[in-house]
Amino acid sequence: MRYLKRNPRVVIVGVTGSVGKTTTKLAIAKVLEQRFKVQAHSGNYNSELGVPLAIFELESPGSVFNLKGWMRVVLEMNRRLKKPLLYDVIVQELGAGRRGDIGYFSFLKPRIGVVTAAKPAHLKGFGSIEAIVDEKFSLAELSQIGLVNAEEERFAPKLGTVDASRLHTYGTSKGEFRYSIRSYSAADGFEGTLVLGKDTVDASVRMVGRHMAEAVAAAAGVGALLGMTPEEIKAGVERIQPVAGRMSPLEGQNGSLILDDSYNASPEAMMASLDTLYELPGRKIAILGGMNELGADGAKYYGQIGGHCARLDLLVTVAKLARQYVEPARAAGLGDDKIRCFDTPYEAGEFVAGLLKRGDTVLVKGSQGGIFCEEATAKLLAKPEDTARLVRQSPDWKRQKAHAFNNKRQTP
């Protein structure tokens, strides 16, 4: 990319993985901001089209058929090419839905490639979990320095395939760079110690979900690899905030708490989110959409998640795919009086809103295409202005949702 060639001093930090890309990217940015001028797009622009838009700090004009919109984008890119990049570091997430996707981004020449996880997401495109492992790990191979999640057991056999001088690991209980958790509660977050090679420093993190600690460790590791002091890293870590649609706690109606995890869904992420819900007091309600692109193994994963729903006080499903949770939930002991199914997120949200009382906690989670559970979250909010804190609220996304639910009831 000409823009990067004209600005060779800019450090690129790439982030990939089946889950946790955006959370990890923004956590890294928050830490690096304590020393560097950092660019990190707030959304999930991680595709062949999205990555250039993110680097140029431009928004998508929507449909690929919007020729006038894309012409304006190209003209603006050419204009910005003439100006120097004002950042020291660009933290960029990189998506992969099939073999070879990560290799396409080799033109970025990442200084550091962070690899978060290899989970059964996009199985339909990859064909096997082994292919997912290979593809995600390839970012560590093509980067000057790889930083790989040591908690992901699927990466363990591959760690010895990269020269030790250019491969590092992170985690909570394993890895060269760690966030060692001393205490955790879903209500208050983490207290722990950052282990940065030979240095250690205590740090508090106000994030919901035990799995979020891995993003903290990754951010600390990148900071250390770029020469930051433990004090700088601690200051950045303690400023990390929840990301929209990723276990973001929001104030719900009638004194309830909403855990908005509506950005996307995969089997292991769904299990982790339910586990977080179970750690909180009060009635536990889950509004769950389906998990897209699971391929032939889909029924197995829906069975696992459905069985894990047995401890809920209320299971509410959104759209057709999510009805696959119901029979496994029943088989695990969840009564019919605790199960409701709806065709749209609007209906699901309206139903739950009518039941909310003080002390309730509602988890909202599902994949995006044709599901859009954030619209259920919108119906539950105590403050309407908090809709600005939800994912997919741009005019283009609103048009897509209107089209998806065109023939189904929804209320404004």
Average pLDDT over residues 92-96: 96
Lowest mean pLDDT among 194-198, 236-240, 369-373: 369-373
Check whether 410 has a pLDDT greater than 60: no
Check whether 86 has a pLDDT greater than 80: yes
List 195's β-bridge partners, or say none. 178, 200
Which amino acid appears at position 226 of this protein? L
Q: What percent of the chain has pLDDT over 70?
A: 98
Average pLDDT over residues 154-159: 96
| H/E segment holding residue 248 | strand 248-251
Domains, the chain: 2-237 (3.40.1190.10), 248-404 (3.90.190.20)
| Contact by Cβ (8 Å): 346, 375 | yes
pLDDT of 407 reads 55
| Contact by Cβ (8 Å): 285, 360 | yes
Q: How far is CA 51 from CA 41, 257, 275, in A?
A: 9, 34, 33
| Contact by Cβ (8 Å): 258, 250 | yes
Check whether 395 has a pLDDT greater than 90: no
pLDDT of 408 reads 57
Kindly report the pTM of this predicted structure: 0.88
Residue 18: both structure tokens together: 């089946």
| Contact by Cβ (8 Å): 289, 367 | yes
* Ramachandran angles phi, psi of 337, nearest 5°: -70, -10
